[in-house]
Structure formats: structure tokens, C-alpha cells
Amino acid sequence: MPMQSVIKQAQRVIVKVGSSLVTNEGKGLDHAAIAKWADQIAQLRRMGKQVVLVSSGAIAEGMQRLGFDKRPTGIHELQACAAVGQMGLAQIYETSFRVHGLRTAQVLLTHADLADRERYLNARSTLFTLLGLGVITVINENDTVVTDEIKFGDNDTLGALVANLIEADALVILTDQRGLYTADPRKDPAAEFVREATAGDPKLEAMAGGAGTGIGSGGMLTKILAARRAASSGAHTVIAWGREDQVLVRLAQGESIGTQLTAQTARLTARKQWMADHLKTAGKLVLDAGAVQKLSREGKSLLPIGVTEVAGEFGRGDVVTCVDDEGHAIARGITNYASAEVRRILRRPSSEIAAILGHIDEEELIHRDNLVLL
């Protein structure tokens, strides 16, 4: 039986498109190609899938607009190219998706945004809200403000980080290569194409070569490493040639295209194992009997009204332990509010959070997706 693409069963998909695919090999933005990506993503939406697009191309577009013949090496020149190119990139995506009646949003991220807990949670909440509103989000590295050197393969890595951030089922990395070979096929005629492997297998890194084109910044190795990173949260990865006809639609229909790198840990298992086994909790929440019942038997989220006491000091995004009134640990979870805020809203209904705190991040103190029973 032929292998079936993991994209068919995926409900939430991250699609990463490389620079050479959207900039016509560096000769400015390829409007026709971007229109085709928009058309395919619109078809995926009609198939019931949620799609977030991670798009390269800003620096390449800025290079073209500013008259650079090759990628500059100076950090400030790269940042200037990104600033100029980002305008054109956002404009053409907005125009292309509008044809299909789809709204778009642009989100610029740095790795620092995803390393800082508060900014991580804010980015996560924003992306989930946009998904819920049916908006196609176009994400790019915020190259205009990074202070360290713009690294090779950032958008491959960024695609994996976004997959982890919003718990995507799959990451599709579209590139100017067919996929992974056992060796560089340009140098080794005996190189064999790898149709399927396990993400994170060390042998894959040995197979991957150096950088790709002179327009983009990534090579196959960055894609293999991105697949390993995505797999840590249970997301599968497909690496495929972006100019393959209707590649996204055919993948979503189950056709095997490119190299498929499968994650070995289920998505929810990965998150819950992380919470249960690898984190020291920053504090405790004492729950009333009703909240214990909701969590342990009904699989519900924890609301402020079910909390009777707060122990310890913690911030939003910290992992806390939920205990019953006798001190028995019931669950661990990621809190949406800091300890000082919880003390103000405990025993109160969620409808009063905004009035008490002056803002509301989430209705739940701990969402059930961020909670594991002990």
C-alpha cells in the first residue's frame, strides 16, 4: 500500500515558503507564484484545515527594490532590505488572498519573542485568536529589529517554532529542492531519495548538505533540524519542491510528495509529558470540591471561581500545581495569570475578571489543553 501523506489527517498546518519560490529566483516578488500559494491555501481552508503561512522573501524583495545584486553582508543593510521588502510582501499576500474572500494578518517575530514567557504567551494568544477569526496569518522573522546577525535558515527554524507555539499537527517546508537525498545528488549519482524517515534521526543530519540558493539563506540541514524541533511537540514535517503542481492540495488529499519526517510522540502526549515530568512548579492553587470534580472527572478547564487559596509567587505562563483542600496534588498546568492577579480574582466568576484586573487575557485560569492530571 503506498504511503499516505500526514497532511491529509492534519487539522492545523504550518506552511513555510522559501525565498526563491516567492521572488522568482531573486528577481522581485513573483506575483503569479504568490497567487498560486493563496489559491492552494484557500482550497485547504475549504477542506477544513487551519493554515498559518511562514513566508521568506522580505530581504530578497528589499534587495531588488534597493538595487542590490547579491545578498549584503552588513547587518544594517540586511535590516534595511527587510524593512523595504516587508511592505511589498505584505501587500501582495493581502491582495492575493482577498481574491478568495480571505482576510490576512502579518505577524513579525524574533526568537526573543518566543524565548520570553510573557511574549510567547501573547504571541500564542494572538495567533489562536486569528485562527478562530478565520484570518490567514503571514509570519516572518522580524529582521528589521534583531540585534544579532541574521542567521542562516531562520525561517525554517521559525516555522518549527510556530508549529510548537500553536501546537500544529504538521509543518510543510516548501523549497527549491525535491526533498532529502542520502547524499548530494549533484555530486553523487548513487544518491537515493528519502521518502520517509523519523524526524530527529541523527543519520538525517549526516545526509543533509550545505546552503541552497544564493537568494535564500537555508540549506537542507536547516530543514532537517527544523523537522526535529517540530517533532518535539508532536508535529510531522514534509519537505517538498514548491513548484510541484498543486503541491499543498495534493498533500492534503493524501498524496505522498517529497520527504516525510514523522514525529514519534503524539501532540498532546508531548505537551503533557513536558508539564508532568520536566518542570518544577512555581506555586500551588488550592481548589474547592467542585473544581476538583470538573478537572479530574469532567475534563474541564480551571476557572478562578474554583480556587480558594494561592501559595507561592508565580508569573503568567508558569507551571503550578493544583491541590485539593487536603493538599493532595490533582493536576499541573500553565497558568494564564500571575499569582498577584489570581489572589484578586479567586472565587469570582470569569465574567468579572476584566472589571477586577482592568484586562482579561483568558476566561480560564488554566485551559484544559495546558493541564495534565496527576
What is the DSSP track for 82-120?
A: HHHHHHHHHHHHHHHHHTTT--EEEEEE-HHHHHSHHHH
Measured CA to CA, the distance from residue 37 to residue 49 in angstroms comes to 15
Classify burial at 313, counting beta carbons within 10 Å of its beta carbon; exposed 0-12, middle 13-18, buried 19 or more. Answer: exposed
* Angstrom distance (rounded) from CA 251 to CA 240: 10
Helices 154-165 + 117-132 axis angle, to 10: 80
- Enumerate the β-bridge partners of residue 284: 311, 321
**Could you tell me whether strands 307-311 and 284-287 are parallel, antiparallel, or unpaired per DSSP bridges?**
antiparallel
Beta-carbon neighbour count of residue 234 at 10 Å? 21
- In angstroms, the CA 259 to CA 18 distance is 16
List per-residue pLDDT tens for the chain, 374 residues long: 567 899 999 999 999 998 888 887 656 789 999 999 999 999 999 999 999 999 988 888 898 899 998 888 888 898 899 899 999 999 999 999 999 999 999 999 876 777 666 788 889 889 999 999 999 999 988 766 655 544 434 688 889 989 988 999 999 999 988 999 988 777 888 889 999 999 988 889 888 864 444 434 458 888 999 999 899 889 999 999 999 999 999 999 999 999 999 998 776 666 676 666 544 688 999 999 999 999 999 999 999 999 999 999 999 988 899 999 999 999 999 999 999 999 999 999 999 999 999 999 899 999 998 898 88
Tell me the chain's radius of gyration from C-alpha atoms.
Answer: 22
Q: Please, are residues 321 and 285 in contact by the beta-carbon 8 Å criterion?
A: yes
Q: For the domain covering 272-373, report its CATH number.
A: 2.30.130.10
Which amino acid belongs to residue 61?
E
Q: Would you put residue 157 in left (φ > 0), alpha (ψ -120 to 50) or beta?
A: alpha
Q: Enter the CATH code of domain 6-265.
A: 3.40.1160.10
Distance CA 136, CA 156 (A): 19
- What sign results for the dihedral spanned by CA atoms 67, 72, 76, 78? positive
**Which residue in 24, 11, 9, 104 sits closest to 64, CA to CA?**
24
C-alpha cell at 63: 534587495
Please tell me the total number of residues recorded for the chain in this structure: 374
Residue 338's pLDDT is 95
Dmax (CA) for the chain in angstroms is 70
> Measuring CA to CA, how many Å separate 65 from each of 32, 58, 62, 214, 221?
18, 10, 5, 17, 30
**Cell output for 142:** 522580524
Q: Which residues contact 302 (CB under 8 A, 6 or more apart)?
A: 285, 287, 291, 294, 295, 322, 331, 333, 364, 365, 366, 371
- Identify the pLDDT of residue 110: 79
Report the predicted TM-score, pTM, of the whole model to 2 decimal places: 0.79
- pLDDT value of position 147: 52
* DSSP state letter for 211: B
C-alpha cell at 76: 544594517
If you write DSSP's letter for every residue of 44-59 in order, what string do you get?
HHHTT-EEEEEE--HH
Q: Measured between alpha carbons, how far is 42 from 100 in angstroms, rounded to an integer? A: 7
Parse the chain into domains and list their residue ranges. Answer: 6-265, 272-373
Given a contact cutoff of 8 angstroms between Cβ atoms, the answer to whether 205 and 221 are in contact is: yes
